[in-house]
Amino acid sequence: MTLLPTPAIHVRNLTKRYQDRAVVQDISFALAAGETLVLLGPSGCGKTTLLKMLNRLIEPDSGSIEINGHDIRQENAAELRRSLGYVIQQVGLLPHYTVAENVAVVPKLLKHKPEQIAQRTQELLTRLHLPPAQYAGQYPRQLSGGQQQRVGIARALAADPPIVLMDEPFGALDPITRAAIRQDFRELDELRRKTIVLVTHDVQEAFELADRIALLNGGQIQQMDTPRELLFRPANDFVRQFFAAERLALQLRVLCLADVLPFLPAVPAATEEAPTLPATASVQEALELLSGAPGSQVGISGTNKRVDLSGLMAGFERALAAAAA
């Protein structure tokens, strides 16, 4: 008999009411360690309420939550919150603390050793593109919104919590800063190992970051699945409609070169070396590479195939039909 690993987060029949209205209704899901779950849905659908029940900022009316197999009601709420990373849109940095002091708040409460805290702070600030020599001693008001948000992420990761909860972490930023931080976020090695629950109402962001998306409406999960399944196998009309406006952009992101590969027409070998992308790269990434240089080709690493822009688009159309079949 094989034993299934204990989910990092296990939510069962969770319901929260305000007056007579259930804003979260009978929600259940299990999340494996290392998964990134994005809670997506229109304003007021219950995303933040659901997230805040995970760290007991809000108590449910019924249902249960287990974290690593332990019912969180049995734990001290303050201790629970210290053990989980939490990033919010308003950042919430302490204005009279320097950047380094802000990052160190939770590790200090957890009584980590000062040298260990200093080293971790340096490491995180460096990785989040805030060179400590320049930024560690600055105060939040001296930083841009994007830099403050990076400090917020460093602070949430400082004590190396295995689970991180994020509520619209990039929500207050302009689109360019937002895209840059998202890129860094994806490249941060240690985040890949963490279990993350992230709230957003930005569909592109959800598709970029999620292993699975829980699409909510009216306090209920309409569908919880991979981005690809949500797009190609919507469970109901709400799901279908929710992605309708951005369907093409999402399809370009979800389909990768491996999907297109079987349909690629033969392309005469280029004389000069073509840049290459892995088969896991999205059609969108290949498109970005090719659209800058008309007539150019991109090679797919590990294969002897290359593709130009028109070949890519023809392959994409056929891959789309195959994915939807």
Ligand X SMILES: Nc1ncnc2c1ncn2[C@@H]1O[C@H](COP(=O)(O)OP(=O)(O)OP(=O)(O)O)[C@@H](O)[C@H]1O
67 to 6, 73, 81: CA distances (angstroms): 9, 10, 12
Residue type, 294: P
Question: Using CB under 6 A, which of 28, 44, 114, 131 touches ligand X?
Answer: 44
Q: How far is the CB of 52 from ligand X (least distance, A)?
A: 8
Establish if 47 lies at the interface with ligand X (CB under 6 A).
Answer: yes
* Burial classification of residue 198, based on how many CB atoms lie within 10 Å of its CB (0-12 exposed, 13-18 middle, 19 or more buried): buried
Q: Distance between CA atoms of 43 and 160, rounded to whole angstroms?
A: 31
- In 3D, which of 38, 8, 44 has the Cα closest to residue 24? 44
Residue span 288-317 as binding mask against ligand X, x where in contact by CB under 6 A, dash where not: ------------------------------
Question: Using CB under 6 A, which of 17, 127, 201, 228 touches ligand X?
Answer: 201
* Burial classification of residue 226, based on how many CB atoms lie within 10 Å of its CB (0-12 exposed, 13-18 middle, 19 or more buried): middle
Q: How far is the CB of 59 from ligand X (least distance, A)?
A: 12
Establish if 10 lies at the interface with ligand X (CB under 6 A).
Answer: no
Task: Give the helix/strand (H/E) hosting 306.
Answer: strand 306-308
* 104 contacts: CB under 8 Å, gap ≥ 6: 117, 121, 158
Q: What are the counts of helices (DSSP H) followed by strands (DSSP E) for the chain?
A: 16, 13
Number of residues lying near ligand X (CB under 6 A): 11
Q: How far is the CB of 223 from ligand X (least distance, A)?
A: 16
Establish if 107 lies at the interface with ligand X (CB under 6 A).
Answer: no
Pairing label, strands 85-88, 163-167 = parallel
Which one of 37-45, 80-88, 267-275, 287-295 is the stretch in contact with ligand X (CB under 6 A)? 37-45
Which one of 40-48, 226-234, 284-292, 295-303 is the stretch in contact with ligand X (CB under 6 A)? 40-48
Q: How far is the CB of 55 from ligand X (least distance, A)?
A: 14
Establish if 23 lies at the interface with ligand X (CB under 6 A).
Answer: yes
Which CB sits closer to ligand X, 35 or 202?
202
Tokens matching residue 193: 């190992």
Establish if 92 lies at the interface with ligand X (CB under 6 A).
Answer: no
Which CB sits closer to ligand X, 19 or 271?
19
Q: Are 23 and 50 in contact (CB under 8 A)?
A: no
Question: Using CB under 6 A, which of 1, 5, 20, 43 touches ligand X?
Answer: 43
Which CB sits closer to ligand X, 140 or 219?
219
Which CB sits closer to ligand X, 36 or 48?
48
Q: 3-state DSSP call for residue 233?
A: coil
Question: Using CB under 6 A, which of 11, 37, 38, 45 touches ligand X?
Answer: 45
Q: How far is the CB of 162 from ligand X (least distance, A)?
A: 24
Q: Distance between CA atoms of 175 and 209, rounded to whole angstroms?
A: 16
Establish if 271 lies at the interface with ligand X (CB under 6 A).
Answer: no
Show the beta-strand stretches assigned E in 2-49. 9-18, 21-31, 36-40
Which CB sits closer to ligand X, 81 or 201?
201
Establish if 48 lies at the interface with ligand X (CB under 6 A).
Answer: yes
Question: Using CB under 6 A, which of 18, 193, 241, 265 touches ligand X?
Answer: 18
Q: Distance between CA atoms of 167 and 54, rounded to whole angstroms?
A: 12
Q: How far is the CB of 141 from ligand X (least distance, A)?
A: 26
Q: Distance between CA atoms of 245 and 248, rounded to whole angstroms?
A: 8
Q: At what angle do helices 283-291 and 247-254 cross, to 10 degrees?
A: 100
**Contact set with ligand X (CB under 6 A):** 18, 23, 41, 43-49, 201
